[in-house]
């Protein structure tokens, strides 16, 4: 049994387009950005893409992003336990699937440890998600490494679209959560929002006599600022901080089969990031974009992992031949440094290098 309650918010913050009053052409005219790194019509994009809109999320009653992804055809979603998901495209579902690139507002959130995504770490207030774009097929030409089978790009709402105060929550016998958000403005051209979110998921029972030792607790805080600096320049700054505790149960692999024990460990995570986007319109058919972000992760699970990631990207879009040919080109540089350590005594897992630095430079067009 569960109870969902919503909202304390001004009417303007809850207003949404009435889908019943839109024509078929308007319903199909959804703007996307993940296929070619620029805004384009979904129906003319050269990719198999599905878009989950904010209205789809609201009507679906989803509480976390992986649940919303269940609605995408061709995407395999399996919930491993209370705090872990196995998500992949084109079959081969596994907890450590490493051929699917996941982005939040263009910021890569996969971990280089195995090339996949820790989905328990990628929670975000579901009310602030504008849309989720899912490409089923190779995206390496545009997005580089890890986009072998597809791309999931989670795009959040502009601060101007989340003005006022919102309070939402849900609760039941297994899951519960609460989100608070406030949006305001500084002058006419700068808008902001701040939010706080906390939720918990109880253990999944293995049978009536024991639980799965997989409870999930998380607190999350964040802010976003969108500013129209001039007629040609826009600036976006966002940051998030999350703290969570997981419990994970597993069979002790060091024992003999007849005496294998079911043991549990506590996992602690601290994650923070800051993202800066700057856009300049050069002409009606030309613009330049710069993006930079810093990401910090401290994860203690079977192993302890501390990772620092810095990324910077420059992109230019323009048209040729009287707008018959659109060109997108740019470059990217990413630096990642990590430190590994053991947290579970006797667990048969180790790394040859406890400290490693990775440099990735790329160009695209």
Question: pLDDT digit string (tens) for 215-250?
Answer: 889 999 999 999 999 999 999 999 999 999 888 766
Extents of the domains making up the chain: 2-364
Distance (Å, whole) CA 299 – CA 306? 6
Left (φ > 0), alpha (ψ -120 to 50) or beta: where does 323 sit?
left
Kindly state the DSSP code that residue 31 receives in the 8-state scheme.
E
Q: Does the predicted model carry a pTM greater than 0.85?
A: no
The CATH superfamily holding the domain 2-364 is TonB-dependent receptor, plug domain (2.170.130.10)
C-alpha–C-alpha distance, residues 139 and 150, integer Å: 6
- What per-residue confidence (pLDDT) applies to 10? 47
Q: Write the pLDDT tens digit of every residue in 160-181.
A: 999 999 999 988 888 899 999 9
CB neighbours of residue 207 within 10 Å: 7
- In angstroms, rounded to a whole number, what is the distance separating the alpha carbons of residues 212 and 262? 9
Mean pLDDT lowest among 69-78, 136-145, 199-208, 313-322: 136-145
Q: What is the mean pLDDT of residues 13-41?
A: 61
Beta strands in 252-285 (DSSP E): 262-283
User: Mean per-residue pLDDT for 65-87?
Assistant: 87
Please state whether the peptide bond connecting residue 290 to the residue before it is cis, i.e. omega within 30 degrees of 0.
Answer: no
Region 116-122: mean pLDDT is: 85
pLDDT at residue 303, as a whole number: 76
pLDDT for residue 75: 87
Torsions phi, psi for 335 (to 5 deg):
-120, 135
Region of residue 315 (phi > 0: left; psi between -120 and 50: alpha; otherwise: beta): beta
pLDDT band per the 50, 70, 90 thresholds, residue 204: confident
DSSP state of 285: T
In angstroms, how far is the first alpha carbon of the chain from the final one? 51
Query: What is the rounded (10 degree) CA torsion for 342, 345, 346, 352?
Result: 10
- Residue with more model confidence, 54 or 294: 294
Q: Is a pLDDT exceeding 60 seen at residue 365?
A: yes
SS3 56: helix
Residues 6+ apart with CB under 8 A from 30: 41, 42, 51, 53, 131
Percent of the chain with pLDDT over 90: 32
pLDDT band at 208 (very low <50, low <70, confident <90, very high): low
**Residue 324 corresponds to which tokens in the numbers above?**
């018959």
Reference 37, options 317, 361, 276; nearest CA is: 317
Assign 290 to helix, strand or coil.
strand
Q: What band does 186 get if pLDDT is binned at 50, 70 and 90?
A: very high
Average pLDDT, the chain: 82
Which residue, among 290, 301, 300, has the nearest Cα to 331 in the 3D structure?
A: 290
């Amino acid at each position: 049994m569960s109870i969902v309650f919503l909202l304390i918010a001004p009417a303007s913050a809850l207003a949404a387009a009435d889908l019943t009053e839109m024509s078929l052409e308007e319903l199909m005219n959804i703007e996307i950005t993940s296929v070619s790194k620029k805004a384009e019509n979904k129906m003319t994009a050269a990719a198999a893409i599905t878009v989950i809109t904010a209205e789809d999320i609201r009507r679906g009653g989803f509480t976390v992003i992986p649940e919303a992804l269940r609605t995408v055809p061709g995407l395999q979603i399996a919930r491993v336990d209370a705090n872990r998901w196995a998500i992949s495209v084109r079959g081969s579902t596994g907890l450590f699937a490493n051929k699917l690139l996941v982005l939040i507002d263009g910021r890569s959130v996969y971990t280089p440890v195995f090339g996949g995504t820790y989905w328990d770490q990628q929670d975000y207030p579901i009310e602030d998600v504008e849309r989720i774009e899912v490409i089923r097929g190779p995206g390496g030409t545009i997005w580089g490494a890890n986009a072998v089978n597809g791309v999931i790009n989670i795009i959040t709402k502009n601060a101007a679209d989340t003005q006022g105060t919102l309070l939402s929550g849900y609760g039941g016998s297994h899951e519960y959560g609460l989100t608070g958000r406030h949006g305001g403005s500084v002058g006419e051209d700068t808008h902001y929002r701040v939010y706080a979110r906390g939720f918990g998921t109880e253990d999944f029972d293995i049978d009536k006599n024991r639980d799965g030792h997989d409870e999930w607790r998380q607190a999350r805080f964040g802010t976003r600022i969108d500013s129209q600096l001039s007629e040609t320049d826009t600036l976006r700054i966002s940051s998030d901080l999350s703290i969570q505790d997981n419990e994970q149960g597993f069979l002790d692999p060091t024992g003999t089969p007849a005496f294998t024990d079911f043991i549990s460990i506590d996992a602690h995570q601290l994650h923070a990031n800051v993202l800066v986007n700057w856009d300049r319109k050069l002409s009606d058919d030309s613009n330049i974009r710069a993006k930079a972000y810093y990401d910090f992760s401290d994860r203690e699970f079977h192993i302890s992992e501390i990772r620092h990631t810095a990324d910077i990207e420059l992109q230019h879009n323009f048209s040729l031949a009287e707008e018959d040919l659109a060109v997108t080109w740019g470059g990217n540089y990413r630096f990642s440094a990590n430190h590994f350590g053991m947290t579970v005594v006797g667990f048969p897992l180790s790394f040859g290098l406890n400290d490693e630095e990775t440099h990735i430079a790329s160009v695209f067009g």
